[in-house]
Amino acid sequence: MAFTKEQIKEELGGILGRSIAGATDEELYGALLQLVQKFSDEKKTPVTGKKLYYISAEFLIGKLLSNNLINLGIYEDVRDILRENGKELSDLEEMENEPSLGNGGLGRLAACFLDSLATMNLPGDGIGLRYHCGLFHQYIGSGVQTEMPDKWLTNQCWAKKTDKTYKVTLAGKEYEARLYELNITGYEGRTNTLNLFDLDTIDESIIKDGINFDKKDIAKNLTLFLYPDDSDEDGRLLRIYQQYLMVSAGAQLILDECVKRGCNYHDLADYAAIQINDTHPSMVIPELIRLLGEKGIEFDEAVDIVTKTCAYTNHTILAEALETWPRRFLDKVVPQLMPIIEHLDRIARERDKNHPEVTGIIDKDQRVHMANMDIHFTHSTNGVAKLHTEILEKSELKDFYALYPEKFNNKTNGITFRRWLLECNPRLTNMIETRIGTGFKKNADELTKLLDYVDDEETLQELAEIKQANKTALAQWLEKKQGVKIDPQAMFLIQSKRLHEYKRQQLNLLYLIHEYYEIKAGHVPAHKIVSIFGAKAAPAYIIAKDIIHALLTLSKVIADDPDVSAWIQLVFVENYNVTAAEKMIPACDLSEQISLASKEASGTGNMKFMLNGALTLGTMDGANVEIAERVGNDNIYIFGESSHQVIDHYARADYCSRDWYEADPNLKRAVDFLTSDEMLAHGGIKENLERLKNELLNKDWFQTFPDFNAYIVRKNQAICDYAVNSRDWTRRALINIANAGFFSSDRTIESYNKEIWHLKEQA
Ligand code: 26Q
């Protein structure tokens, strides 16, 4: 179903009720929204066979206008029609607020999956919450992160209010969850739906002083924020309230839809596949068992039905991110689920007589282990990269693996090339098209055809020019957005991701301090660098915020010192989100993926940078391992301890950061600089910087110090290679692009579908 330019003009005119030239940008934006709604509705065909429900606390979907226009195949026509009338599509794109429905990789993965499902004509809908103020908007005022509500909802919004509501009982009180529907367009494919639930009674005016609000008033606060501060009991209870609202309304929606399509409950697994995205939606298991019970289905059969219907994805091995809830919290919020969870716990203990304390659901301290419930009572548990799945099977979840080897499987993550190439890098897309045609847009493996061009001078020249143009564009965007000037001729190194100690932004920080000293001593780098960061720290994660503060302070120290700023610029991009990522990633020369080996489940930013022609500087962690496998050692910069070495250190508890500090004068110098006079003279807050230094010296849980020297050596090698042989750098960038096809989320979805969901391609 293609839409012609004439059709588009006519529709737009009809919606506007006046000429395009005479309409305001706001009117035009609204009209395009309606146009997309109409065209995409037409591609929402009735589902035959099974439908997937991807339940997730996050959907980091990014702005939708351009994405939808591209997917509907009308981007160029709309742009041209507007231009003919003196309007620019890019101005309208600017008007859109980015939906604030996610935080990081897990949420962005969900968004990429929805795109791939629709593109591949597979019936797969999302289920989540309609947060009013998102995670938060990050402001960088006086050298620290401050959080404000990210009020992204406007009258002109993609998520449409419906008259469907479901009753959800929270702590014995009934609430009404209202459904909002957002169309997910596939690239030349079908339209699926992202179902978002909300309460009509939410009151944004209760937010005071940043992002604080009365955590007890559920009717008013339930969907205000994603991951509300859970450092106190009310915050933790609120998270359970949120999760249950999502899964209870979601489960009712699923049952409703399935019944409408002919399901008799006993055969639910033929009508629905439910993917549980990490443990946040785990309560869908007992909730479905409860609802099936209400329909007259016996407990054992309900358990069997739910197990066959549900599958679970694990995204982390970090102990603190594996959710366990004190039983008394669940007793309070969801007493209706507790008898079911207890029953499931008894079954689990029956099944594993060898280590019931490890694999049981309710432990001796009366904590409820959500992941354990998922593994016992779904038919599939998957990790998100080869190494991650291996670590789950061999160490983190080994007792479960012994119990259910057939349930475990790997699904290496992927990204949608529609957003992360076609939309964010039209220059590169165009270059690729002129070389290998357009087939790669739906069949990413065709990118390997670019390998024929790795020694084609014209192609290399063009690729270098594209990178330069993207870097200049990023520099202009940054100047406009936050008033910083960066040198587009410098080498751009980017580390953008959630701020977390395991991701080791602090290692990058120590490198920059080291280089500061080196430059002061006359040892200048091989090339000028711009080191760019983008990261939000969870509001209650003190050390993460201290790392941001140290970076911001260091950036002032450097900017203030002409000797150093001639060689290094440090830029912190405020409020990193999908929109910022789309500007930053195409402009990157070196992609920093420097997590402590074994800790990054997969990473997906690494894939986006690779696809856009950056080389990777990384540890052998997550999907970096698979990137290295594909591009070969000459085309990636790997450093640092292996996951085995790291896991051994943890097992033996033999890592002592202070020993490393005492033994290495360069490291000592860099760490000591954190609390130096220079830092304090540039707005450094003594308390915060000392806290960070102490953390590193006395704990350094994520083993920054052992990789310090290897990181410096490898990074400086990369900078040197970039400086001395730019042709070869571009050649290797092209090799990276050509090998990125495997990391398309279309491949990931195909594999989920073949091995877990078994959905039928829709006509
Ligand atoms: C848990 C408990 C209490 C409060 C919050 C949380 C919480 C919130 C968010 C735990 C985890 C998250 C988000 C995790 C996440 O984004 N994980 C990333 O998932 C990506 C997709 O699989 C991977 O590529 C990344 O490696 C992984 O870090």
State the average pLDDT over residues 610-635.
98
For ligand 1, whether the C-beta of 105 sits within 6 Å is yes
For ligand 1, atom 11: residue with the closest CA? 321
Residue-range domains of the chain with CATH: 1-42+64-97 (no CATH), 43-63+98-413+748-757 (3.40.50.2000), 417-743 (3.40.50.2000)
For ligand 1, atom 25: residue with the closest CA? 603
Distance CA 156, CA 121 (A): 28
Distance 279 CA to ligand 1 centre (A): 10
For ligand 1, whether the C-beta of 413 sits within 6 Å is yes
Distance CA 680, CA 663 (A): 26
Q: In ligand 1, which atom is closest to the CA atom of 600?
A: 26
State the average pLDDT over residues 355-368.
97
From 58, 101, 240, 315, mutation site for ligand 1 pocket: most ligand atoms within 8 A of C-beta? 315
Contacts of 52 (CB under 8 A, 6+ apart): 117, 122, 123, 124, 125, 272, 273, 274, 275, 757, 759
Residue 385: C-alpha distances to residues 84, 314, 393 (Å): 47, 10, 12
For ligand 1, whether the C-beta of 321 sits within 6 Å is yes
- Reported as a pLDDT band with limits 50, 70 and 90, residue 439 is very high
Distance CA 224, CA 136 (A): 10
State the average pLDDT over residues 578-596.
99
* pLDDT of 320: 81
In tens, the pLDDT along 114-162 reads 999 999 999 999 999 999 999 999 999 889 999 999 999 999 999 999 9
Q: In ligand 1, which atom is closest to the CA atom of 413?
A: 22
Distance 136 CA to ligand 1 centre (A): 16
**pLDDT exceeds cutoff 90 at 345:** yes
* pLDDT of 2: 82
Residue 426: C-alpha distances to residues 37, 345, 376, 418, 487 (Å): 24, 53, 46, 10, 23
- The neighbouring-strand residues paired with 410 are 383
Residue labelled with tokens 């981007």: 75
* pLDDT of 321: 82
Q: Which residues are catalytic?
A: 315, 497-498, 503, 604, 608
State the average pLDDT over residues 450-466.
98
Q: In ligand 1, which atom is closest to the CA atom of 108?
A: 21
Residue labelled with tokens 């490898």: 714
For ligand 1, atom 6: residue with the closest CA? 321
Q: In ligand 1, which atom is closest to the CA atom of 384?
A: 22
Distance 679 CA to ligand 1 centre (A): 32
Q: Where are the alpha helices (DSSP H) in 483-504?
A: none
* pLDDT of 53: 99
Q: In ligand 1, which atom is closest to the CA atom of 104?
A: 16
* pLDDT of 141: 84
CA dihedral angle for residue 375, residue 380, residue 386, residue 389, rounded to 10 degrees: 10
* pLDDT of 525: 98
Distance 498 CA to ligand 1 centre (A): 9
From 58, 59, 106, mutation site for ligand 1 pocket: most ligand atoms within 8 A of C-beta? 106
* pLDDT of 142: 86
Q: In ligand 1, which atom is closest to the CA atom of 623?
A: 24
State the average pLDDT over residues 590-601.
98
For ligand 1, whether the C-beta of 106 sits within 6 Å is yes
For ligand 1, atom 24: residue with the closest CA? 603
From 316, 412, 608, 627, mutation site for ligand 1 pocket: most ligand atoms within 8 A of C-beta? 316
Amino acid at 113: F
**pLDDT exceeds cutoff 70 at 1:** no
For ligand 1, whether the C-beta of 603 sits within 6 Å is yes
Q: Are the CB atoms for 63 and 579 separated by under 8 Å? A: yes
Distance CA 169, CA 260 (A): 24
Distance 316 CA to ligand 1 centre (A): 7
Distance 106 CA to ligand 1 centre (A): 6
Q: Residue 126's closest CA among 179, 67, 68, 48?
A: 179
**pLDDT exceeds cutoff 90 at 311:** yes
Distance 413 CA to ligand 1 centre (A): 13
For ligand 1, whether the C-beta of 15 sits within 6 Å is no
- Reported as a pLDDT band with limits 50, 70 and 90, residue 282 is very high
Distance CA 387, CA 597 (A): 10
Read off the tokens for 238: 């609120």
Looking at every residue in the chain, the average pLDDT score rounds to: 97
Distance CA 685, CA 548 (A): 12
Helix, coil or strand: residue 581: helix
What is the value of pTM for the model shown?
A: 0.98
For ligand 1, whether the C-beta of 227 sits within 6 Å is yes
For ligand 1, whether the C-beta of 230 sits within 6 Å is yes
Q: Residue 111's closest CA among 182, 199, 36?
A: 182
Helix, coil or strand: residue 272: strand
For ligand 1, atom 7: residue with the closest CA? 321
Helix, coil or strand: residue 174: strand
Distance CA 175, CA 450 (A): 56
Read off the tokens for 550: 């140290």
**pLDDT exceeds cutoff 70 at 522:** yes
Distance CA 268, CA 32 (A): 39
For ligand 1, whether the C-beta of 708 sits within 6 Å is no
